[in-house]
Amino acid sequence: MTYDAQVLVVGAGPTGMTLAAELRFQGVPVTVLERDLEPTPQVRSLGLHARTLEVLAMRGILPRFLDLGTTYPVGGVFAGVGAGRPLELAGRHAHVLGIPQTTTDRLLEEWAVGLGADLRRGAEVVAIAQDDAGVDVTLADGSTLRAAYVVGCDGGRSTVRRLLGIGFPGEPARSEWLLTEAEVGVTPEEVTAAMAQATPGRGGVGPAPHAPGTYRVVLLTDEVAPRDAPPPTLDDVRAQLHKAIGTDLGLHSPRFVSRFGDATRLAERYRSGRVLLAGDAAHIHPPVGGQGQNLGIQDAVNLGWKLAAALRGHDVLDTYQAERRPVAADVLDTTRVLRVLMWGGADGAAVRSLLTELTAYDGVHRHLVEKVTRTATRYDLGAEDPLVGRALPDLEVGAGTLFDLTHEGRWLLLDPAGRHAPDRHGVDHVVADCPALPAPAVLLRPDGHVAWAGDGDLTEILDRWVGRG
């Protein structure tokens, strides 16, 4: 069968470019189709959480992000509850990295393209048809591309999801915010004084962390705009700002103006034959907690090696939905709670007060932080051992660390005593001291999660996950 690419990824955001890079690690030819001609200037997210930092460290590219971001201790990420009580999480990367999404987007694009991903901008998907052997994708210019698999990473209003007819149930937006980054016509002192008079819960104005001299403005609007409403303008922002603080601060020269709502939705399924969904195409939620970008990147790392396995004839793709959809459902529930805490009026304030008291207990504090950072995610792989399904932190292994061994996205058998011999292509056997390894031996998937732990026979687990090829 002749394909234009073995995998077509629709959407060049953080999910799509991470997936493209993961596929290239597995030797899979991949083409990324992006509707927009230029990267967006909108800064939708301002940070990366601990589990995402671990993923980037696993692939050896975290230093690129650290050089351009600012690290902060973990604590208070649950809508500010527990702020002032930094929490020690396991691993070398247990912090929050402040970095604008525009920078993250650029670094991920450079990474994927550098690995050989074919990025095509101005390529808008308008139709999808699939058969038993592949998927045909039609673009707005009338051209057609064929691939073995297609993955929709094209955002909350996903064209791919719509073309597949996959339901997207949940709650529509009840509130909406305007977002811009622009210059002001007053002094910083005047901005501070005006914000001191702001109506509580109407939003805020503060220096943009990545653009000196520019202010980031986030404002609650009076109503939710209809789906077909024209894009917001700076005049819309000025009007809402005047309602919130009594002045528009002389706002001018915006880098962008956008709106976002608090709709919460989860795709009914993540796969339809040879077409799959990832990132915001599969789940949307309010941006509180900064989890959306992180969730999408982690979707991609779970999916990439599974697509490669399917292309080699060992299809474990159904485990993608089985593992990632429950994680997304939990994130959606968490953001529902965060929304109440932040915008729930007196009821939200009462819940916040109670949770603040409860965070005096380390177990409660840790649980809330792990809800946002996703450092305790455990996939249900059908094993009783609580280690199976979890991700390992960056343990010391021999003269280096675990993540030094994961840069190429391969299976890894950590076997300090050298008691096993995994006779499978694509499994690296590491016989080296690992003092903190919590089991005699561990089989680690390419996404960093434990597939097996113990000292028994590996044949059945290797057959299940790796295949005999």
Q: CATH: 3.30.70.2450, 3.40.50.620, 3.40.50.1820, 2.60.40.4070. Which one for 176-261?
A: 3.30.70.2450
The burial of 435, by beta-carbon neighbours within 10 Å (0-12 exposed, 13-18 middle, 19 or more buried), is given as exposed
Q: Could you give the CA distance from residue 152 to residue 135 in angstroms, rounded to a whole number? A: 12
Residue 67 pLDDT > 80? yes
* 278/268 Cα distance (integer angstroms): 13
Are the folds of 5-169+265-373 and 176-261 the same?
no
The position carrying tokens 């946002």 is 372
pLDDT tens digits, 108-137: 999 999 999 999 999 999 999 999 999 999
pLDDT: which is higher, 434 or 90 = 434
pLDDT bracket for residue 469 (50, 70, 90): low
The residue among 235, 229, 80, 285 whose CA lies nearest residue 219 is 235
Give the model's confidence band at 348: pLDDT under 50 very low, under 70 low, under 90 confident, else very high. confident
Q: For the residues 402-407, what does the mean pLDDT come to?
A: 96
How high is the pLDDT of residue 207?
81
Q: What is the pLDDT of residue 345?
A: 77
Q: Give the model's pLDDT for residue 468.
A: 78
Q: Which of 122, 115, 114, 125 has its CA nearest to residue 150? A: 125
Does residue 37 carry a pLDDT above 90?
yes
Taking residues 216-221, report their average pLDDT. 83
Would you tell me which CATH number, out of the four given (3.50.50.60, 3.30.70.3420, 3.40.50.720, 3.40.50.11810), belongs to the domain 5-169+265-373? 3.50.50.60
Query: Could you tell me which residue, 442 or 191, shows the higher pLDDT?
Result: 442
Can you give the pLDDT at residue 1? 67
Q: What is the pLDDT of residues 440-456, one digit of tens each?
A: 999 999 999 999 999 88
Task: Report pTM.
Answer: 0.91
**Domain 396-465 falls under CATH 3.40.30.120:** yes
Residue 20: burial class (beta carbons within 10 Å; 0-12, 13-18, 19+): buried
Q: Where does the pLDDT of residue 90 fall: very low under 50, low under 70, confident under 90, or very high at 90 and above?
A: low
Contact 349/63 with Cβ under 8 angstroms? no
pLDDT score of 268? 98
Whether 98 shows a pLDDT value over 80: the answer reads yes
Residue 429: pLDDT band (50, 70, 90) is very high
Instruction: Assign 84 a pLDDT band (cuts: 50, 70, 90).
Output: low
Task: Indicate if the pLDDT at residue 22 is higher than 90.
Answer: yes
* pLDDT score of 299: 98
Q: How large a percentage of the chain has pLDDT more than 90?
A: 55
Q: Which residues have CB under 8 Å from 252's CB, separation 6+?
A: 182, 183, 184, 185, 234
d(CA 156, CA 316): 26
Interatomic CA distance for residues 147 and 261, integer angstroms: 34
CB 264 within 8 A of CB 170: yes
Give me 212's structure tokens: 């000196």
pLDDT given at position 349: 82
How far apart CA 54 and CA 59 sit, in angstroms, is 9
Q: How confident is the prediction for the chain on average, in pLDDT? A: 89
Q: So where are the chain's domains? A: 5-169+265-373, 176-261, 396-465
**For the segment 322-342, what is each residue's pLDDT rounded down to a tens digit?**
999 999 999 999 888 888 887
Return phi, psi of residue 275, to 5°: -120, 135
Half-sphere exposure (CA, 13 Å, Cβ side) for 2? 1
